[in-house]
Structure 1
Amino acid sequence: MRIDRARLHDTVLAGVVAAVSVTLYALYDPLRLPAGGLRPADGIGLALVAVSGVPVAWRRRRPLAALCAALVPETLLAVAGYGAGVPGLAGLVLLYSVASHRGLATALGGLLATLSAYTAGAVAGPARAVAWTDHVVAAVVVTAVWGAGRSLRLRRAYLAELRERAARLERAHAADTRAARAEERSRIARELHDVVAHHVSVMIVQAAAARRVLASDPELAGEALSAIEHTGRTAMAEMRTIVGVLRTDARAERGPQPGVQDLPALVEQMREAGLPARLLVEGEPRPLPAGVDLAAYRLVQEGLTNSLRHAGAGAGAVVTVRHRPDELDVRVQDDGAGTAEPPAGPGHGLVGIRERVALYGGILSIGPRPGGGFEVRARFPLKDDQ
């Protein structure tokens, strides 16, 4: 059976308050002044003093009700003319409990009830040789006890607010961390797709070409196999660089990311894979933001890969890069006989390209050309100070 420690402590405190009140009441009897009109200690007085301490056992569960219950015997003691060594000890303990465990309205109600009970006892009791300063001191003591209880409650509320604020900040930090991780995973997924889709597509085309000429032209088939090996090694190197950021036990060796300056090598690789492609650069090249530079390269890579896979035999592609003062215009056009309409469910490559272009405020257009073929075009805005 589990013991309620708070209830046990309050019960023990009630016994202590009752015992102390009875002891002080009995010790106060020899100091009585006969002219004061105070009744001598007797069984009734001792009973009332002892009963006043019993409600302390409920000081946390029902503090206001316990205070009112304790004020009844204390008021009867004052009205009947009994004295006590420490008048209202139980009432002071319960008033403190009301102020420290309940809201402001309830606490003010407890203070008003205590002052009213004291006033009623002072007015209705027998005449005593008590100066008005004694009543002022009693009122100050009651108010000070109430104020101490309120201060404790306000401190508890302040500490609770600090804990809640710290918990909110921790939850917000955890949410930001999860969002950052999700964004990083999405970025890595886009990079992996771009690398794998491009190189695997090139390898498939080269393997098909090698298979067709294997019997008739072994030397040409060997060149295709060498190109497949080179493409595979390149893909593996790029994948190691990307996957390296996921490692937690060591830093990834990260080389420079590809950009617009690497487009000639990309176009040459596509020509070797069997797609007649050429690169046109217009305007004066200028340093580009790293993100825009990589996004432009990936767009061309994805566009050429799609042309290689879907344009058909004999189709060619043109990559055009226009450097303008306020924007970078990149387009990939082919003259193949691919689908007349863009696929209804775009793959991860086009989704990744859309995300990249949108991330840097660009405008992306993907679709068939009026004269035949397909076009992928993006326009990235540039600032003057870049």
Structure 2
Amino acid sequence: MWKLNNELRMQYSHGSEFLIRLSLHWLLLVCTYFIARRIHAKEVERLRTMRQAQREERLLISREIHDLLAHSLTLIKVQSSAGLITANTNPSSAVDTLSSIKQEADRALLEVRKVVRALRSQDSGTPTPTAPEASIGTVLDSFRHAGLRINANLPAEPAELDPLTDLALTRITAEALTNVVRHQGDDATVSISLKYGSEVRLLVESWGRRQHNSSGSSTGLIGLRERADALGGAVTAGGDPQHFQLTAILPLKEH
């Protein structure tokens, strides 16, 4: 509103000059406001993306640790119980059981160390889990040794899968069998079918002959659903201690 005249004295602007000055003043304020809003919106979006990445990383870590330890500790518990039963009557069998427990513990420690190394990596971004040391066949053998009767219908020639799909299939199989032992007993009967087509379809069906009161938090099933959903697939499960069925469908991607 003020200006210096030729005599270096302050005086009011007036007429068209006043309107131009006023318009430029408000234009500057409006532009500053919208620029500040845009910068603020970008910062809010950046923080939201960062928090979402942190949540996804925590979920990934919790799934990996749960799937690793739940599987291994369940097998160790079953095998140690069997070893205690046979320790007095069949010492050689108890020694074999202890050897299996040691192997399972070594495998679990190796897998956990892999997860820890990924977390300590200096690379930016969420750590990507690597393929597990155990294959589906190895997982089935370990549960058969624990007492489960497993009838497996697996393809003669396994497909070349990308590491995340291969990891998901192994983890889903291990978690399904872990739940069988936990809720239906180590004398349950299990049928497993794995088929490749336009997608990977895994069916795990189990029958328990005795009631088990072991209750869980469903953390394992939630983790499996999250793992499958992240790959564009799905996991459905339902039943009771007498009969339970789990189906996993994952998109088939070339290795």
Matched, 1:328 2:197: no
Given that residues 338 and 374 in structure 1 are in contact (C-alpha distance below 8 angstroms), is that contact kept between their aligned partners in structure 2? no
TM-score relative to the length of structure 2: 0.82
Q: Deviations over 1:231-276 (max 9, x none)?
A: 11111111122233333668999884139x9111111111222223
Q: Partners in 1 of 2:155 and 2:243 — Cα distance?
A: 22
Q: Percent identity?
A: 27
Distance 1:176 1:256, change over 3 A: closer
Report the alpha carbon displacement of residue 188 of structure 1 after superposing the two structures with TM: 1.1
- Which residue of structure 2 lines up, in the alignment, with residue 150 of structure 1? 23
Given that residues 187 and 209 in structure 2 are in contact (C-alpha distance below 8 angstroms), is that contact kept between their aligned partners in structure 1? no
Q: Partners in 1 of 2:33 and 2:182 — Cα distance?
A: 63
Q: Which has the larger radius of gyration?
A: 1
Q: Partners in 2 of 1:381 and 1:339 — Cα distance?
A: 36
Report the alpha carbon displacement of residue 172 of structure 1 after superposing the two structures with TM: 0.6
Q: Partners in 1 of 2:183 and 2:229 — Cα distance?
A: 25
Give the alignment partner of residue 192 of structure 2, picking from 308, 316, 319.
Answer: 319
**Which has a greater percent of strand?**
2
Q: Partners in 2 of 1:143 and 1:360 — Cα distance?
A: 65
Amino acid at match of 2:137: P
Aligned CA-pair RMSD: 3.5
Distance 1:351 1:236, change over 3 A: same
- Which residue of structure 2 lines up, in the alignment, with residue 379 of structure 1? 249
Given that residues 214 and 221 in structure 1 are in contact (C-alpha distance below 8 angstroms), is that contact kept between their aligned partners in structure 2? yes
Give the alignment partner of residue 11 of structure 2, picking from 80, 84, 90.
Answer: 90
- Which residue of structure 2 lines up, in the alignment, with residue 268 of structure 1? 141
Report the alpha carbon displacement of residue 363 of structure 1 after superposing the two structures with TM: 4.1
Higher deviation after alignment, 286-295 or 178-187:
286-295
- Which residue of structure 1 lines up, in the alignment, with residue 166 of structure 2? 293
Higher RCO (CA < 8 A, seq sep 6+): 2
Q: Partners in 2 of 1:302 and 1:166 — Cα distance?
A: 46
Q: List alignment gaps of at least 5 residues for structure 1.
A: 1-12, 25-84, 93-113, 115-141
Distance 1:302 1:313, change over 3 A: closer
Given that residues 368 and 375 in structure 1 are in contact (C-alpha distance below 8 angstroms), is that contact kept between their aligned partners in structure 2? yes
SS in 1 for 2:202: strand
Given that residues 283 and 323 in structure 1 are in contact (C-alpha distance below 8 angstroms), is that contact kept between their aligned partners in structure 2? no
TM-score relative to the length of structure 1: 0.56
Matched, 1:214 2:214: no
Q: List alignment gaps of at least 5 residues for structure 2.
A: none
**Which has a greater percent of helix?**
1
How many aligned positions are there? 251
